[in-house]
Structure 1
Amino acid sequence: MKSFTQAAKAATVTLIAGAAAITFATGAAHAAETATVEVLSIVEHPALDAIRDGVRDELKAAGYDAAKNLKWEYQSAQGNTGTAAQIARKFVGDNPSAIVAIATPSAQAVVAATKTVPVVYSGVTDPVAAQLVKTWAPSGTNVTGVSDKLPLDKQIALIKRVVPNAKNVGMVYNPGEANSVVVVKQLKSLLAQQGLTLKEAAAPRTVDIGPAAKSLIGKVDVIYTNTDNNVVSAYEALVKVANDAKIPLVAADTDSVKRGAVAALGIDYSDLGHQTGKVVVRILKGEKAGAIASETSNKLQLYVNPAAAQKQGVKLSDDLLKDATTVVK
Structure 2
Amino acid sequence: MKTSVKTLLRVVVLIAIAISLLLIIDKTSQKDSEGKLQLVLIQYNDSPLSELSQSGIEDGLSQIGLKAGKDYDLTVNNAQGDMATLNLMIDAVAGSKPDLIFVTSTPTLQVAANKIKDIPVVFSVVADPIVAGAGTSFTEHLPNVTGISTLGDYEGMVKWIVLIRPGTIKIGTIYSPAEANSVKNMSELKKYSELAGIELVTVPVNSTTEVTDAALSLIESRPEIVCQIVDNLTSSSIASIIKVCQSNKVPMFGFVSDQSKKGAVLVVSRDYHQAGVDAVNLAKKIFDGAKPADIPFEFVSKTNILINLKAAAQYGIVFPDELLKREGVIISE
TM-score (normalizing by structure 1): 0.85
Judged with a 3 Å threshold, the aligned counterparts in structure 2 of structure 1 residues 206 and 314 are, in CA distance, closer, same or farther, namely: farther
Question: Who is 1:71 aligned against?
Answer: 73
Instruction: Decide which of 181, 191, 194 is 2:193's aligned counterpart.
Output: 191
- Residue-by-residue CA offset, 1:192-215 (whole Å, 9 max, x unaligned): 222211111112212221111110
Greater Cα radius of gyration, structure 1 or 2: 1
- The aligned runs of 1:293-308 (5 Å cut-off) are 293-308=296-311
Q: Does 1:325 align with 2:329?
A: yes
Judged with a 3 Å threshold, the aligned counterparts in structure 2 of structure 1 residues 63 and 211 are, in CA distance, closer, same or farther, namely: same
Q: Does 1:223 align with 2:226?
A: yes
Across the aligned residues of Structure 1 and Structure 2, the Cα RMSD in angstroms comes to 1.9
Instruction: Decide which of 101, 104, 108 is 2:110's aligned counterpart.
Output: 108
Instruction: Decide which of 224, 237, 247 is 2:240's aligned counterpart.
Output: 237
Question: Who is 2:283 aligned against?
Answer: 280
Q: What is the rounded CA distance, in whole Å, between the counterparts of 1:214 and 1:234 in structure 2?
A: 14
1:87 Cα deviation from its structure 2 partner: 1.4
- The aligned runs of 1:87-166 (5 Å cut-off) are 87-139=89-141, 141-166=143-168
Question: Who is 1:58 aligned against?
Answer: 60
Q: Contact (CA 8 Å) 2:107, 2:179: kept in 1 or not?
A: yes
Q: What is the rounded CA distance, in whole Å, between the counterparts of 2:240 and 2:115 in structure 1?
A: 34
- Residue-by-residue CA offset, 1:108-156 (whole Å, 9 max, x unaligned): 1211221111111101111111212221105251111001123422121
Q: Detail structure 1 runs of 4+ shifted over 6 Å in the superposition.
A: none
Q: Contact (CA 8 Å) 1:158, 1:265: kept in 2 or not?
A: no
Q: Contact (CA 8 Å) 1:248, 1:314: kept in 2 or not?
A: no
Q: What is the rounded CA distance, in whole Å, between the counterparts of 2:172 and 2:203 in structure 1?
A: 7
SS in structure 2 of the partner of residue 111 of structure 1:
helix
1:299 Cα deviation from its structure 2 partner: 2.4
Q: What is the rounded CA distance, in whole Å, between the counterparts of 1:212 and 1:140 in structure 2?
A: 37
Q: Contact (CA 8 Å) 1:253, 1:267: kept in 2 or not?
A: yes
AA aligned opposite 1:258: K
Judged with a 3 Å threshold, the aligned counterparts in structure 2 of structure 1 residues 291 and 31 are, in CA distance, closer, same or farther, namely: farther
Judged with a 3 Å threshold, the aligned counterparts in structure 2 of structure 1 residues 162 and 215 are, in CA distance, closer, same or farther, namely: farther
Question: What stretches of structure 2 of length at least 5 have no aligned partner?
Answer: 1-30
Q: Does 1:44 align with 2:71?
A: no
Q: What is the rounded CA distance, in whole Å, between the counterparts of 2:84 and 2:166 in structure 1?
A: 42
Q: What is the rounded CA distance, in whole Å, between the counterparts of 1:162 and 1:246 in structure 2?
A: 17
Q: Contact (CA 8 Å) 1:47, 1:255: kept in 2 or not?
A: no
1:84 Cα deviation from its structure 2 partner: 1.7
Question: Who is 2:35 aligned against?
Answer: 33
Q: What is the rounded CA distance, in whole Å, between the counterparts of 1:57 and 1:299 in structure 2?
A: 16
Judged with a 3 Å threshold, the aligned counterparts in structure 2 of structure 1 residues 32 and 205 are, in CA distance, closer, same or farther, namely: farther
The percent of aligned pairs where both chains have the same amino acid is 26
Q: What is the rounded CA distance, in whole Å, between the counterparts of 2:299 and 2:123 in structure 1?
A: 11
Q: Contact (CA 8 Å) 1:159, 1:250: kept in 2 or not?
A: no
SS in structure 2 of the partner of residue 302 of structure 1:
strand
SS in structure 1 of the partner of residue 325 of structure 2:
helix
Q: What is the rounded CA distance, in whole Å, between the counterparts of 1:155 and 1:82 in structure 2?
A: 35
Q: What is the rounded CA distance, in whole Å, between the counterparts of 2:157 and 2:34 in structure 1?
A: 43
TM-score (normalizing by structure 2): 0.84
Q: What is the rounded CA distance, in whole Å, between the counterparts of 2:85 and 2:285 in structure 1?
A: 29
Judged with a 3 Å threshold, the aligned counterparts in structure 2 of structure 1 residues 318 and 32 are, in CA distance, closer, same or farther, namely: farther
Question: Who is 2:295 aligned against?
Answer: 292
Q: How many residues align?
A: 300
Q: What is the rounded CA distance, in whole Å, between the counterparts of 2:47 and 2:153 in structure 1?
A: 23
Q: Contact (CA 8 Å) 1:138, 1:144: kept in 2 or not?
A: no
1:164 Cα deviation from its structure 2 partner: 2.5
